[in-house]
Amino acid sequence: MGLKKCLDSLNGIDTILVGDGRYPDSAWGTSDPKQLEYFRNRYPPGNASTDNSREIVRSYSNAHWLDAPEQPYESETEKMNVMLKYVPDDSWVLLIDPDESLVGNIRACFPPYPCDVIAMRVTDPKGQSLYYNRLFRKKPGISFESHHSLRYDRAVVELYLGNAPQSTYLLHERKEV
């Protein structure tokens, strides 16, 4: 699955940010040589994309490319926090990886009462589902603690952990090594 398929699935999203940049091997959380080789092949040496990702992103009127910094990010969390600085407060943020696609209408995920974080169902090709907090409202002082956790400084968070609509979910098609 490619970046284009992911971006095509986001046709109802107002603004899409795509950040370039690589992480050091230590950011992958593994020392397994087979897994590290997989990451090195998937993300070639150097800090900037060498494929046509930039051109793909720029072909979408609602997508914005963020260039890689001079030095590689220390972690995925650092990259996510840098990207979060480009999001205006009170905007809704959907975390989606380039090997995922949004299925259904994102607006169906919002409950009938106010909340700041919404669980999304993420389904793999075998049909197994997990629920992650992938949709949230950016508040002042918010940052990422890790890839799957948010830290709120001085913010009140109402967490919606009910069942996500079956018609709207993220399909994760990553192939494991």
Q: For residue 7, what are the contacts with CB-CB under 8 A and spacing of at least 6?
A: 16, 18, 56, 57, 60, 63
pLDDT digits (tens, 9 = 90+) for 50-72: 788 899 999 999 999 999 898 88
Domain boundaries in the chain? 3-172
> CA dist 162 to 115, 121, 148, 165, Å?
12, 11, 18, 9
Asked if residue 45 has pLDDT above 80, the reply is no
Note the pLDDT tens digit of each residue in 102-116.
Answer: 999 998 888 888 888
Q: pLDDT (tens digit, 9 = 90+) per residue, 131-154? A: 777 889 998 888 887 766 787 776
Residue 127 is predicted with a pLDDT of 81
pLDDT over 60 (residue 162): no
Predicted TM-score (pTM) of this structure: 0.78
Residue 147 corresponds to which tokens in the numbers above? 């890839």
Contact assessment for residue 81 and residue 30, using Cβ atoms and an 8 Å cutoff: no
Look-up: residue for tokens 């490619």? 2
Beta partners for 150? Answer: 144
